[in-house]
Amino acid sequence: MADINLKGMGVALITPFKEDESVDYDALGKLVDYQLQNGTDYLVVLGTTAETPTLTEEEKKKIVDLIVTKVNGRIPIVLGVGGNCTRTIVDKLKNDNFDGIDAILSVVPYYNKPSQEGIYQHYKAIAEATKLPIVLYNVPGRTGVNMSAATTLRIAREFKNVVAVKEASGNITQMDDIIKNKPANFNVISGDDGITFPLITLGAIGVISVIGNAFPREFSRMVRLALAGDYDNARKIHHGFTELFELLFVDGNPAGAKSMLNAMGFIENKLRLPLVPTRITTFEKIRDVLRQLSIKC
């Protein structure tokens, strides 16, 4: 099993679409270059923020191939491989080509609402199907079920290739419990930009960020300062983004991130149904905040 360093800021990449809703591969390539040039520590590909459920298998393959080629080994790539059918995920892990992929991110099964034992057995099957490092992803607001600290720790202790959890439960007490009791080879990663700073002070190693799509240099600096213990300067950057944290998700993800990137001139403001762009009022508020931050828009 290859080692992977997930300390710092990973970015959950969006998928740009053209006006006709086809994938804008040119814009995606430019976004990857933007990340590489501005301090992003690793990329998360085909996650929630990428609108992955709306992509065809052919589009997913082209997106992964483009990003792997662009990155060319300079930073790690974490690929989203999740779902609510364990057998399908296992088959994919055993049969697909993962050249250029450094780890997988796998979400707690959604819709089915499995028990804690079901969640454990799901990840057991996944861990035994691949030698790649695995990052668990707990996001009960989307999946309908919370993976408890006890289940996370059980998985972390029993499977050495399960190396981290992206925690987006919003439950600081639960996250702190995991950090306090985790094995040495396992880490906690923030799944929520807004709580990244306080979570790092508790012992998290960084974030898989949405706002990093638009602000990789600034947000990665905040993460590095916090990790270095320079809490005063990290807090200043954190507070500078407070309003954007709220605007980012008020109309859903990735609508907020796409509005920001559109206002900054990177992409068309297009999503695929059932997702739609932010409301005009939200978009105008985002533009106002960007102007205050001296971002060209």
Please name the residue that has the structure tokens 């954007």.
Answer: 244
The pLDDT value recorded for residue 2 is: 54
Residue positions annotated with a catalytic role: 137, 166
Read off the pLDDT of residues 168-215 as tens digits, 9 standing for 90 and up.
999 999 999 999 999 999 999 999 999 999 999 999 999 999 999 999
17 burial level (CB within 10 Å; 0-12, 13-18, 19+): buried
Q: Is the pLDDT of residue 282 over 50?
A: yes
Alpha helices in 196-250 (DSSP H): 196-202, 216-227, 231-240, 242-249
Q: Which residues of 284-293 are buried (b: 16+ CB within 10 A; e: fewer)?
A: ebbbebbeee
Tokens of 113: 């609402």
Read off the pLDDT of residues 63-82 as tens digits, 9 standing for 90 and up.
999 999 999 999 999 999 99
The pLDDT value recorded for residue 293 is: 78
**pTM of this structure:** 0.96
Read off the pLDDT of residues 81-101 as tens digits, 9 standing for 90 and up.
999 999 999 999 999 999 999
Indicate the pLDDT class of residue 237, thresholds 50, 70 and 90: very high
Q: How far is CA 21 from the centre of its chain?
A: 23
The pLDDT value recorded for residue 297 is: 37
Q: Is the pLDDT of residue 125 over 90?
A: yes
